């Protein structure tokens, strides 16, 4: 039996299984043990006086609406509702829905339809005297636009309450920035002192998460970060089934989807409680509240502020936001390899200003680094290939007596000083790098709608004409032809079936990934052909 070919087949099978497993479902999130809280976490019940909703009602029906305020900056198109001062709609002007619709911005937040995602914030007080996300504000204007030459745009919402309390909820947008400053300016004109707590949360509708052949296996759900436990995913099922209440210093909470996220970022030294819970009508909340009250003395003022990020998972921006934010670009358990690969890919992009050519250059560099290992593997395969006539003779001599055939083949290996497993270790070592690069190309928003050349207009989506997958399959067949053929006819059929299986899988992969594999295979073919020629010509 050809042990080397069986081992190589097993390795390729494991690779297929790993890719398929990743394709079917994301890694299971870390389980969260939620300690009991002494303070009540803000919830979002039906508004007083509103009709009671059923659990089957659309998520959007759970939200009460006021007057819409439209805000336009160089990066964002936003709608703020006077009901609670919620951020109801966020469109990313620099990120179109698709390359074919360059004038239609991607909508990250929305409060209509079945898929709801909005940002809410407000104040809590023991006596309930301060406004929260169920409070109606008044607006100073209905439209705001960042003017040319201005670096910031301020939107103010006002509320007046009993006992001389007034609150201005202020959104401050910045040029070339997806971060928004959100502050609550409290004025106490009365005679009674008050204490205020700030909270901020995302409200999202629940939806089943499943992945198929045409769906990317990317994580969509909540996430939190604390100094104690670092980055943790809180998926939609966890938010639905278990209440989270985690006390922490600083930290942050986020709601993620492929390429984009929303994140609430409190002060690094603030004492907070990170929480998640289920709401009526299939709505889920994840957010934080401060644990240290801010006093508002009689006749005094106070400001409670936070930061909101709504935008793409661009590494350069995330690194500047807060500790751990870059982890929202989820490379899984191979982050330690994937992160340096992304840095190198970015550096190459700066040189050639094209992500497709950067992928090709990265593939060449990876092949160069692994060349000594690959050479050992290819030399082993070349020696095995040279022995093919003698192996065929042994099979003909021993017929169906597999035991004698195996003994004879092992004796041949020993005589010719061939290690049938010599090519396996180099391949095993390279597999983690291949998988890490897979996640880099899959997760990086920088490659979204990035063109390469000719018909490839978007490296993040599948090849529209399936040219690259077919080339990849053809290159795999060429590799099979260059490699030693199994003596067993059944093994031969299995090995030649692999290119067909891979081609079928890669039809739906992003073209950037398939481009990497095509270049990788072409380089491997060139190396194997050169080594085969040298060994078959010299006998060494």
Residue 410 has pLDDT above 50, yes or no: yes
Whether residue 316 sits in one domain with residue 349? no
Q: What confidence score (pLDDT) does residue 251 get? A: 92
Domain boundary among 303, 328, 353: 328
- Looking from the CA of 157 toward its CB, the CA atoms found within 13 Å total 32
Q: How far is it, in rounded angstroms, from Cα 223 to Cα 473? A: 38
- The answer to whether residue 29 sits within a structural domain is no
Which residues does residue 80 pair with via DSSP β-bridges, in sequence order?
69, 87
- The answer to whether residue 43 sits within a structural domain is no
Range of the domain at 125: 65-207+216-328
> For the residues of 497-519, what is the DSSP string, one character each?
HHHHHHHHHHTTS-HHHHHHHHH
Q: What confidence score (pLDDT) does residue 36 get? A: 36
Highest mean pLDDT range out of 162-176, 368-382, 511-525? 162-176
* Selected residue with higher pLDDT from 43 and 133: 133
User: Residue 303 sits in a domain of what CATH number?
Assistant: 2.70.98.90
If one counts the domains in the chain, the total is 2
Domain boundary among 328, 348, 363: 328
State pTM to two decimals.
Answer: 0.79
Q: How far is it, in rounded angstroms, from Cα 102 to Cα 89? A: 19
- The answer to whether residue 334 sits within a structural domain is no
- The answer to whether residue 57 sits within a structural domain is no
- The answer to whether residue 305 sits within a structural domain is yes
Whether residue 236 sits in one domain with residue 95? yes
Residue 351 has pLDDT above 90, yes or no: yes
Q: Predicted confidence band at 112 (pLDDT cuts at 50, 70, 90)? A: confident
Contact 234, 224 (CB under 8 A): yes
Whether residue 444 sits in one domain with residue 527? yes
Structure tokens at 521: 């295979």
Domain boundary among 299, 328, 357: 328
- Integer angstrom CA distances of residue 351 from 163, 316, 357, 358, 362: 63, 17, 10, 8, 12
- The answer to whether residue 181 sits within a structural domain is yes
pLDDT tens track for 375-406? 666 666 666 666 666 666 766 676 666 776 67
Neighbours of 361 (CB within 10 A): 19
What average pLDDT score do residues 236-252 get? Answer: 91
Q: What confidence score (pLDDT) does residue 525 get? A: 85
Residue 89 has pLDDT above 80, yes or no: yes
């Amino acid at each position: 039996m050809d042990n080397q070919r069986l081992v190589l087949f097993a390795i390729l099978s494991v690779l297929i299984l790993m890719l398929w497993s990743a394709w079917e479902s994301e890694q299971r999130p870390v389980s969260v043990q939620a300690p009991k809280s002494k303070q009540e976490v803000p919830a979002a019940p039906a508004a007083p006086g509103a009709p009671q909703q059923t659990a089957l009602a659309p998520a959007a029906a759970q939200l009460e609406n006021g007057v819409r305020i439209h805000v336009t900056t160089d990066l964002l198109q936003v709608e703020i509702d006077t009901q609670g001062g919620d951020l109801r709609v966020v469109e990313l002007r620099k990120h179109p829905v698709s390359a074919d619709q360059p004038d239609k911005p991607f909508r990250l937040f929305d409060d209509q339809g079945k898929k709801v995602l909005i940002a809410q914030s407000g104040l809590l007080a023991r006596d309930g005297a301060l406004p929260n996300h169920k409070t109606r504000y008044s607006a100073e204007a209905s439209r705001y636009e960042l003017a040319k030459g201005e670096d910031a745009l301020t939107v103010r919402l006002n509320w007046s309450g009993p006992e001389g309390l007034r609150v201005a909820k202020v959104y401050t947008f910045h040029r070339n920035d997806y971060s928004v400053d959100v502050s609550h300016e409290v004025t106490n004109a009365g005679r009674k002192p008050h204490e205020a707590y700030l909270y901020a949360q995302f409200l999202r509708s629940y939806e089943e998460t499943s992945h198929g052949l045409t769906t990317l296996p990317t994580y969509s759900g909540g996430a939190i970060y604390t100094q104690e436990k670092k980055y943790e995913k809180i998926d939609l099922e966890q938010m639905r089934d278990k209440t989270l209440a985690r006390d922490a210093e600083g930290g942050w909470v986020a709601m993620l989807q492929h390429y984009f996220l929303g994140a609430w970022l409190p002060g690094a030294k603030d004492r907070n409680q990170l929480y998640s819970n289920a709401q009526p009508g299939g709505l889920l909340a994840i957010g934080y509240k401060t644990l240290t009250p801010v006093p508002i003395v009689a006749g005094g003022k106070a400001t409670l502020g936070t930061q909101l990020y709504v935008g793409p998972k661009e590494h350069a921006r995330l690194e500047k936001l807060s500790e751990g934010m870059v982890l929202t670009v989820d490379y899984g358990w191979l982050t330690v390899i994937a992160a340096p690969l992304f840095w190198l890919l970015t550096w190459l992009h700066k040189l050639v200003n094209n992500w497709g050519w950067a992928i090709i250059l990265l593939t060449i560099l990876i092949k160069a680094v692994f060349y000594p290992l690959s050479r050992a593997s290819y030399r082993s395969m070349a020696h095995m290939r040279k022995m093919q006539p003698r192996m065929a003779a042994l099979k003909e001599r021993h017929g169906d007596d597999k035991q004698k055939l195996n003994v004879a083949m092992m004796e041949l290996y020993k005589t010719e000083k061939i290690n049938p497993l010599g090519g396996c270790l180099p391949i095993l070592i390279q597999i983690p790098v291949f998988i890490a690069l897979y996640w880099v190309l899959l997760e990086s928003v920088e490659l979204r709608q990035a063109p390469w050349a000719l018909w490839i207009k978007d490296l993040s989506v599948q090849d529209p004409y399936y040219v690259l997958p077919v080339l990849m399959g053809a290159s795999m067949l060429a590799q099979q032809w260059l490699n030693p053929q199994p003596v067993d006819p059944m093994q031969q059929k299995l090995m030649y079936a692999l290119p067909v299986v891979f081609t079928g899988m890669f039809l739906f992969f992003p073209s950037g990934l398939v481009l990497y594999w095509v270049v990788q295979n072409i380089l491997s073919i060139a190396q194997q052909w050169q080594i085969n020629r040298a060994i078959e010509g010299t006998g060494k």
